[in-house]
Structure 1
Amino acid sequence: MLYWYVRSVLTDHSKLKRSDFWHFLPMIIFFISAFPNTFVPWRDKVEAAMMAVENQEYLMVYKASLLNRIIPTVAIYLFRLVLVLGYTIGAGVLFIKYLKKKQSYAVFSKQHFMKKWLCCLLGFLFILAVSQVFMVIKSFEMHFSELFFTFNILRVISVAGLIGLLISPFFFPTILYGLPRMPETNEQENDDSQIKERKQRYNSFESDYLKSISQKTDSFMQEHQLYLEPDCNLAYFSKQINIPTHHLAYYFREVKKQHFNDFRNEWRINHAKALIKEGKANEITLEAIGSLSGFSSRNTFITDFKKLEGESPGTYAARFY
């Protein structure tokens, strides 16, 4: 899965090929061999778990899958970890090779965080897999001695790798948004002029797409007045306008340089100003005008109005009394 994920990120191959079957074959074998254990009564599973807790050497004789009949227990415990480690190394090699190619800009153009993210992902996963392999080997060598399960360097390294995997999205939150993918390149073209021309075409493709988002967001707001809905947030707007949420998030963050809430509030404030100019402030309260403009509370209306106009709605309305 890891190898296929990295390959799909780098080459935009989102569909499985026939050759990918061999990547999943070991996992399929493990699944089939452990499937009969699914029908073992829950009481028996709890009993086996309690015996393993009381005496770790029980893992050497417990037959959890059909593979235990033909493969040594140590090999079964190691094989999955070695498989993960192998795919991690394979994904890393694929990543390094791709970085050396001139076509790498087709994926990493304007999304350089992908390089850092993949480096952290593969790095922490490599640390975790290697430490786990040595821990399993050492635990069998020491016959699950309690001494081994005390504080030691292997456990520290393993925990560091796991924590790194868990907290890395906080350092690269952009990875959660994703980006519009660009057309696949022809790897046989190596001429610098062709590469430069292709790069300009890709940038044009992305610019055209982002320009279409800009036009659609403004026209949709003006025509359907979605800003009047109290629950108009990015997810709601994305659903109404039929543009993926992460594409909109990227557009507002990187192109418009504005939070969606500020974009929406501009429309609300302009709507409120139009109502005030029409003389509505003489007929209803400013709080009612804010409510008619989509604001959920009086304080929010006043705060956002001051932020955009530099004055309170009351001061603004005084001009039209």
Structure 2
Amino acid sequence: MLLFLSFLGIFLSLILLLFNARKYKSSLYLGLFFFLISLYGFYQYILLYSKSVTLISLFLFNLSVAGSPVYLIGPMLFWYTRSVLTDDAKLKRIDLWHFLPAIVFFVSALPNALVPWHEKVEVAKTVAQNQSFIMEYKATLLSEFLSSATIFLMRLILVLAYTIWSFGLFINYLVKKKISIVLSKQQFMKKWLCYLLGFMLILVISQLFMVFKSFEMHFSAIFFTFNFIRVISVVGLVGLLISPFFFPTILYGLPRMPEINEPENDDRQLNETKLLSNSFESDYLKSIGQKSDSFMEKGRLYLDPDCNLGFFAKQIDVPAHHLAYYFREIKKQRFNDFRNEWRINHAKALIQEGKANEVTLEAIGMQSGFSSRNAFISDFKKTEGVSPGAYAARYN
């Protein structure tokens, strides 16, 4: 069971990392979180259940590589929660301190990796036959100062502290109603964070009891065959791993619904926009499209030469990665092409009004938002199939 769940977690983490992490950093934290949880589960399976001398030799003596990432489970959970609540996935300089426990453990466990292979095999055979030997074996330099039980418990206590910290951050946003700004009209995001942090809390607390009881009972086989705490731990892990499949929208990295603020919008359009904001995903994305057209038409943002994706996102109060997702996945069009269509239509209107008889075509291009003559001619020809000069000739 533990082995299957570990592979399921690795599969889930690969989905997040391969398909979303490049576009949304919050998915990077979540993917690494699930990967490290799965790695920890796989590590437990090898030491306690596999009886494989080879695998135990590889993992037990390479703790610097296999064990130190476990200390990053908590930070990844915290960074993901913070990035979702604030819509800001950037790490700060102070966040470097979160890597300190992993670095300390890596350095302390590194000498153990240099032990000759035949010695590793002998120790692994002992562990495979009697798990209680883990209590006596000094796997890292920290074992000179701390007991094995303390080292095992320290990892879980650290994860528990980060889980409580993440819960506190979430509750703080709820109490102070900051959540209404960040996750407006998205009740499912609140539920998702509750499920994620709730199942994580169940898992880490049950794991703490399991590790404590394991050392107390000297890794008795009876304890591992059936135990109520173990069942709770499995429930926590299963709930944690399957919960993303009930909230697939989180994989899109769209954590917030900005407030609607369209210029000079009539009551009918405003009511339609409010109806659209009642749900997420398709309705929210549709509202982004309506908002984009409205601001282009009424605000004429395309006339600004600096009108790029970032500029436009700021003007219409929509996160840039939401806007990028809309144009890439829904509209199937580059933002620059969308903007240039408005610019070309504006230039065509000027030409049809006879402006080409009064000013140069280059001036018309500049008045339409293009930064250069070449860009105007190239984009005009791409959209209309003819050059601005040929188009203007029709109205001379």
Query: Contact 2:160 / 2:205 at 8 angstroms: preserved in 1?
Result: yes
Kept after mapping to 2: 8 A contact 1:128/1:161: yes
Give the structure 2 partner of residue 147 of structure 1. 222
Query: Which stretch shows the higher mean deviation, 105-114 or 141-150?
Result: 105-114
Q: Does the CA contact (< 8 Å) of 1:180 and 1:206 recur in 2? A: no
Sequence identity (%): 58
Offset at residue 180 of structure 1 (A): 6.8
Question: Quick one: structure 1 residues 106 and 48, their matched pair in 2 at CA, closer, same or farther if it must change by over 3 Å?
Answer: farther
Q: How does 1:101-112 map to 2 (within 5 A)?
A: 101-112=176-187
- Taking the TM superposition and a 5 Å limit, the aligned residue runs for 1:55-70 are 55-70=130-145
Does 1:38 find its partner at 2:117? no
The answer to whether the 8 A contact 1:180-1:247 is kept is no
The answer to whether the 8 A contact 1:88-1:126 is kept is yes
Match of 1:4 among 79, 104, 110: 79
Counterpart amino acid of 1:52?
A: V
Correspondence 1:135 to 2:229? no
- Any idea what the Cα deviations from partners look like across 1:3-45, whole Å, max 9, x if unmatched? 2221121123322223223333222212222233334445544
- Per the TM alignment, residue 108 of structure 1 is displaced from its structure 2 partner at its CA by 0.6
Relative to the length of structure 1, the TM-score reads 0.56
Q: Which of 38-47 and 94-103 deviates more?
A: 38-47
Aligned to 1:311: none
| Number of the residue aligned with 2:393 | none
Deviations 1:188-239 (A, max 9, x none): xxxxxxxxxxxx9xx8x98885348889xxxxxxxxxxxxxxxxxxxxxxxx
Matched, 1:247 2:325: yes
How far apart are the structure 2 equivalents of 1:159 and 1:65? Answer: 29
Q: Residues 102, 177 of structure 1: CA spacing in aligned structure 2 closer, same or farther, 3 A cutoff?
A: same
Paired residue for 1:274? none
Aligned 1:210-229 pairs, distance under 5 A: 210-211=289-290
| Contact 1:178-1:247 within 8 A present in 2 as well | no
| Structure 1 position 84 matched with structure 2 position 162 | no
Compared with structure 1, are the counterparts of its residues 7 and 214 closer, same or farther at alpha carbon in structure 2 (3 Å cutoff)? same
Output one character per residue of 1:221-262: Cα deviation in whole Å (capped at 9) or x when no partner: xxxxxxxxxxxxxxxxxxxxxx8899249975xxx9xxx9xx
2: distance between equivalents of 1:176 and 1:246? 15
2:175 to 93, 100, 110: 100
Aligned length: 209
C-alpha deviation, 1:178, in angstroms: 1.7
Q: Give 1:231-310 correspondences, 5 Å limit.
A: 247-248=325-326, 252=330
2:382 is matched with none
Consecutive unaligned residues in structure 1, runs of 5 or more: 184-199, 216-242, 261-321
Q: Distance in 2 between matches of 1:114 and 1:105?
A: 11
Q: Bigger shift: 3-12 or 156-165?
A: 3-12
How much is the aligned-residue C-alpha RMSD, in angstroms? 3.4
3-state SS of the aligned residue for 2:221?
coil
Which whole-Å deviations, capped at 9, do the CAs of 1:116-137 have from their partners, x for residues lacking one? 1111111111111000100111
| Paired amino acid for 2:228 | I
Distance 1:43 1:175 in 2: 47
Deviation at 1:51, TM superposition (A): 1.6
Change (3 A) 1:14 1:82: same
Q: Could you tell me whether the CA contact under 8 Å between 2:206 and 2:233 is conserved in 1?
A: yes
Q: What is the deviation of 1:150?
A: 2.0
Distance 1:44 1:245 in 2: 58
CA distance in 1, matches of 2:325, 2:219: 51
CA distance in 2, matches of 1:62, 1:32: 18
Pair 1:25-2:100 in alignment: yes
